[in-house]
Structure 1
Amino acid sequence: MFKISELIQYMNENGMLVKEPETYDDAEINRFASLQHPSCDALCWSQKEMPVNDIPESAVLLCQPGQEHNPERKTVMLHVNDPRRIFGALAHHFVPETRHTGISAKAVIDPTAEIGENVYIGPYVIIEEGCKIGDGTRIEANAVIYRNVRIGKNCHIWSGAVIGADGHGYFLNEEKLWTRVRHMGGVVIGDNVEIKANSCVDRGVLDDTTIGDNTKIDNLVQVAHNVVIGKNCFVAAGAIIAGSCIIEDNCWLAPGSVIRNGVHVARHSQIGMNAVVYRSIKQTDTVYAGNPATAVKKYEG
C-alpha cells in the first residue's frame, strides 16, 4: 500500500505529528489493524497510553504524545494528539472508499422524481412521486423514499431505511376510535447526511421533518413526525426522537436514548445511553444521563 516514509511525509504536511519519530526501517504498510490483530506490516492505533509491554509488534503505532516506547519492539511510534481522529484521516487518504454510481434496473422510481448526477440507487429501492435526490447521493438496496422527500448532496441512505412514511399521529373520532391524522408535510434532508440501516424518518403533519447538514444517524433509529435535527448531530443506534422535538446543532444522542415529544434540546448536548429526556434542555455544552435525564458534567466533545 505505502511506505512508512510516505506516511510520515503526509502526516508532516498536514501537521499531524507531535514530534518526529526516531530512526526507523522504511517498511511497507499493507493493512490497518486493531491492537488485537497486529502484524509487522500493519498500522495500529491506541487512544490511551498503554504499558510498554503491551505495545504491539506492528509496523506503526499511532499513540498519545506521552506514550513510552518498548526498545524490544521494532514498532515505529508516531505520537499524535488524537490517535482516533488521525487514524480516521489516514484511512480516508490511503484507503479511499470505492464509490459506485448508477441506477439499478430493479429500482422503482416515479417519473416525477428528480435524480441528481453521480448518484447510486441500489436494487429494490422505491422512490415515490415528487422526490428530489441530490448529486452524489447513495441509496442502498431496499430503502424506501416516500413522496415529496428532498435529500441533499452526497448523502448515504443505507439498506432498509424508510424515509417519509406517515408518523404515528391519530385522533379519537366520535365513536372513540383511533383515526389516522393526514400527514401533509414532507422530509427535508441536508447535505452529507447518513441514515443507516432500518432507521425511519417520518414525514411531518403540516411542517417538514428536517435533518441538518452532516448529521449521522445510526441503525434502528426512530425520527418521528415534525422533528427538527440540526447540523452535525450524531444519533446512535436505537435512539427514539418523538414527535415535534428540536435537536439543535452538534448534539450527541447515545444508544437507546429517548427524547419525549415536543422537547427542545440545546446545542452541543450529549444525551447518555438509555437516558430519557422529559423536559426541554436549555443549558448547552452539557452531558445528561439517567431517567429522568439530569445534567452530570460538562460536554467536551
Structure 2
Amino acid sequence: MIHPTAIVSPLAQIGVNVRVGPFSIIHDNVVIGADTVIESHCEIGHPSALAGGRALVIGRGSLIRSHSVFYEGSTFGERLTTGHRVTVRELTTAGKNLQIGTLGDIQGHCEIGDYVRTHSNVHIGHESKIHNFVWIFPYVVLTNDPHPPSDTCVGCEIHDHAVIATMSIILPGVQVGEHSLVAAHSSVSRDVEAHTVVGGSPARFLCPTDKIKLKDGSGRSAYPWTTHFSRGYPEDVVKEWLSRIPASGQE
C-alpha cells in the first residue's frame, strides 16, 4: 500500500506487499523487495553521481523507519531494519539482517556482512569493512583519514563477532579481531588481537575475553558471547554456534 501523499517513481521496481508511508519519496533507480515497510518522510534512492548509475537495492522484509535517507548505489540483503533519521550514502554493500540504529550514519564504499547490529548515533566512515555478527554500540565512530584533512582514505576492519562498546573510536586502518571486545570510551590506534579485551585512550591490552565473567552468578565466561546470547538470531545459526562449544562450556 502506498500512501496518497507519497511520491513513487514509475521507474522504481516495487515488490509485492510493500508499504510506503506519508510524504516519502521513492526515486527512479530503486529496487525494493517484497513485504518491505517504508515509514513516513523517507527519501529512498536519493540521486548521486557518485553512485555510478547503480541502483539502490533493499532486500525483502525490510523496515525503514521515518525520516531516513538512502542514496542510490547501495545494496542491502533481506530484513534490513533501521531506527529513525538514518543516513546511508553511496556504494555500500550489506548482507542480511543488518540493523542500523536511530541517527546512524553509513558513508560510502562500505562492506558489511550478515547480522551486523549498530546502535544509535554510530558513524561508519568510508571504506569500512564490517564482517558478520558484529555489535557496535551507541556513539561509536569508525574513522578513515590518517592525517585529516587529506585525500587518503584507510578504512577500519571489524572481524566476526567483535563487540565495540559505547563511545569508542576506531582509528584509520585498525583491524579489530574476531570475538574481541573494545571497552567503552576507548581510542583504538593499534590492531586488536582476536579473543582479547582492549580499553583506554590510547587503548591497550587488558585481558583475554574469557577472563570476563557473566554477572548472573553462574561463574561462566561472558565471551564468546555466542555461548550464552542468542536473542534475535535464527535457530540454525544458534545451533551452529552451540555446536562449537566443548564440554567445558568454552569455545
Q: 1:101 deviation in Å?
A: 5.6
Q: Which amino acid counterpart does residue 127 of structure 1 have in structure 2?
A: I
Q: Residue 194 in 1 paired to residue 95 in 2?
A: no
Structure 1: distance between partners of 2:180 and 2:162: 5
Output one character per residue of 1:194-219: Cα deviation in whole Å (capped at 9) or x when no partner.
00100100002xxxx01111010000
Structure 1 alignment gaps of length 5 or more: 1-99, 166-185
Q: Which amino acid counterpart does residue 108 of structure 2 have in structure 1?
A: R
Give 1:135's match in structure 2, choosing from 55, 60, 63. Answer: 60
Structure 2 counterpart of 1:148: 73
Give 1:164's match in structure 2, choosing from 72, 89, 95. Answer: 89
Structure 2: distance between partners of 1:135 and 1:116: 4
Output one character per residue of 1:126-167: Cα deviation in whole Å (capped at 9) or x when no partner.
1115200000010001000012011110110111010016xx
Output one character per residue of 1:3-48: Cα deviation in whole Å (capped at 9) or x when no partner.
xxxxxxxxxxxxxxxxxxxxxxxxxxxxxxxxxxxxxxxxxxxxxx
Q: Residue 255 in 1 paired to residue 166 in 2?
A: yes
Structure 1: distance between partners of 2:18 and 2:139: 30
Output one character per residue of 1:163-184: Cα deviation in whole Å (capped at 9) or x when no partner.
016xxxxxxxxxxxxxxxxxxx
Moved >6 Å (runs of 4+)? none
Structure 2: distance between partners of 1:112 and 1:271: 39
Output one character per residue of 1:238-287: Cα deviation in whole Å (capped at 9) or x when no partner.
00111210111100000001100111111111000001111122x21111
Structure 2: distance between partners of 1:296 and 1:125: 43
**Residue correspondence of structure 1 range 172-251 to structure 2 within 5 A:** 186-204=91-109, 209-243=110-144, 244-251=155-162
Give 1:103's match in structure 2, choosing from 13, 17, 20. Answer: 20
Identity rate of aligned residues, in percent?
A: 22
Structure 1: distance between partners of 2:73 and 2:83: 19
Structure showing greater radius of gyration is 1
Output one character per residue of 1:53-80: Cα deviation in whole Å (capped at 9) or x when no partner.
xxxxxxxxxxxxxxxxxxxxxxxxxxxx
CA RMSD of aligned residues (A): 1.4
Structure 2 counterpart of 1:93: none
Normalising by structure 1, we get a TM-score of 0.57
Q: 1:112 deviation in Å?
A: 2.1
Structure 1: distance between partners of 2:133 and 2:143: 19
Structure 2: distance between partners of 1:146 and 1:111: 11
Structure 2: distance between partners of 1:148 and 1:298: 40
Q: Residue 292 in 1 paired to residue 202 in 2?
A: yes
Normalising by structure 2, we get a TM-score of 0.68
Structure 2: distance between partners of 1:226 and 1:241: 10
Structure 2: distance between partners of 1:264 and 1:298: 17
